[in-house]
Structure 1
Amino acid sequence: MPSHSAALSQAQISAFINDGFVRIDNAFPHELADQGRAILWRDTGCDPHDPGTWTKPVIRLGFSSDLPFRTAANTPLLHAAYDQLTGKDRWLPPQGLGTFPVRFPSPDDPGDAGWHVDVSFGWQENPTDFLAWRVNVSSKDRALLMLFLFSDVGELDAPTRIRVGSHRDIARQLEPAGEAGLSLRELAADDFAGTAHCPEVLATGEAGTVYLCHPFLAHAAQPHRGTRPRFMAQPPLQPSEQLSLDRPDGAYSPVETAIRQALNRA
């Protein structure tokens, strides 16, 4: 088995710090994507060969610990990249993947295409109010946002929209709120206008592609204008220890460095 002790080049790590994401092609084998997609088709209740059964623009499937998903999330290449971006052994091996917003070709508004960042704590206090869930400047309980493509995704296939560099704006917005952070309702009050200046890119790629993203990266869904459904997982990478913006030894990860640079601490 080839070594992946350095999955990402220094240029890719620098791009992650500046842009907020890195794309890894062939992060997991196509065979695993095929196996995972078969499970997802089954769980949607739709027939892959009968577009007449694709009656909704999006079907959300929850977390899955089936073997293809556990294996896809834990390839040697991805483990090495997790180490490089979040700090060696500062993350927990994923026990599966999810959620899966399966998007179907449709003229209808999917109803979930607004800009947002993924919140990471606060659901215990407000289990039924998603907009009350929170994120703070040290990204409590989330080391990365990850996008796993289980189908080929082109520009018409509802690829996730990414605002390049938006993680810096979000870090500055979160800093005054301290450890309590802000709720998604508070962050979205102006429809993420503070990140509107950022260039936009699309998370396209072949099945097996993974985007490793800074937890603060602003992103959004969009309607599906292609012909084949899009299958993607959008799990967190959970930390084994909380991120820190004040390490006595100065051993900051790229995730932490990006926040510190945004706050003029580095």
Structure 2
Amino acid sequence: MSQTEEAGLTPGQVQNFIADGFVKIENAFSAELAKQCRDALWADIGLSPDRPEQWTRPVVRVGSKASPPFIEAANVASLHRAYDQLVGEGRWLAPRGFGTFPIRFPSTESPGDDGWHVDMSFGTADPDFMEWRANVKSSGRALLMLFLLSDVGADDAPTRIRKGSHATIARELLPHGDAGATLRQLASENWASTKDCKIELATGAAGSVYLCHPFLVHAAQPHRGTRPRFMAQPPLLPKGEFDPALPPSPVQIAIRQACGLTV
């Protein structure tokens, strides 16, 4: 569904987010803005879109970017409305840029980073990333977001998504309370608890954005296409901790429904 400047998410899209754990917004930002972002990233990595002989690694990573094209892409009016609808008005911080950027190139070599996982939200000062944590309130993260900066087809290393997996993870986090669980604890037996979820691919035209529940299980994959894939995967940060005095947001409703709690 095309996203216009005037329209936010439809009620059906919000319900799909609660049930599936993600919603796709097409044309969230312009193709020209996506190209400006790609051009900046090409310059950062010292490679050229016209010299494929330089593409010798399956993935090259760039950290955060805070130059104007990136800030603009993350803060278009349609996305701000969607953030309000999913997280709650006034409960998130406007992005000051975004990252990281796993730039994937056509390759027969394994990228080495294509395992299933959930992005952790706090405790990230620990040098052992397997000790990073998440809790059932999703402290430290309001959304996982996937910004497509190039056209991404089925062969272009689209992110794999386990549809509905956020509900399973919410139930697994519930007994751990505010302290949460580590990535090592959640990843037990290679995320076997979500292995039966239907797999969706985060494909789309440049300018598309996937807004995802923080607990969504997802994974990279090898690039089998011909043109490099440019994507950003920033978090949307919350303004503060969960406030039980406020009406629950769709992010919170999804958690409460998964845990069998009254919404």
Question: TM-score, with normalisation over the residues of structure 2?
Answer: 0.96
Partner of 1:35: 36
Partner of 1:208: 207
Measured on the aligned residues, the alpha-carbon RMSD in Å equals 1.1
Alignment of 1:1-266 (within 5 A): 4=6, 6-124=7-125, 126=126, 128-244=127-243, 247-248=244-245, 251-266=247-262
The aligned length equals 259
| Structure-2 separation of matches of 1:190 and 1:103 | 27
Contact 1:136 / 1:181 at 8 angstroms: preserved in 2?
yes
Return the letter of the residue paired with 1:231. F
- Moved segments of 4+, more than 4 Å: none
Instruction: Give SS of 2:83's match.
Output: helix
| Structure-2 separation of matches of 1:123 and 1:85 | 25
Instruction: Give SS of 2:41's match.
Output: helix
| Structure-2 separation of matches of 1:243 and 1:139 | 8
| Structure-2 separation of matches of 1:105 and 1:181 | 38
Deviations 1:130-169 (A, max 9, x none): 1111111100110000000000000000000000000000
| Structure-2 separation of matches of 1:8 and 1:123 | 32
Return the letter of the residue paired with 2:166. H
Identity of aligned residues (%): 59
| Structure-2 separation of matches of 1:98 and 1:204 | 19
Instruction: Give SS of 1:115's match.
Output: coil
| Structure-1 separation of matches of 2:143 and 2:212 | 6
Q: What is the CA-CA distance between 1:189 and the residue it aligns to?
A: 2.2
| Structure-2 separation of matches of 1:248 and 1:155 | 43
| Structure-2 separation of matches of 1:34 and 1:87 | 31
| Structure-2 separation of matches of 1:65 and 1:109 | 30
| Structure-1 separation of matches of 2:122 and 2:54 | 36
User: Gapped runs of 5+ residues in structure 1?
Assistant: none
Once the two structures are overlaid, the 10-residue window that deviates more, 38-47 or 152-161, is 38-47
User: Gapped runs of 5+ residues in structure 2?
Assistant: none
| Structure-2 separation of matches of 1:190 and 1:135 | 18
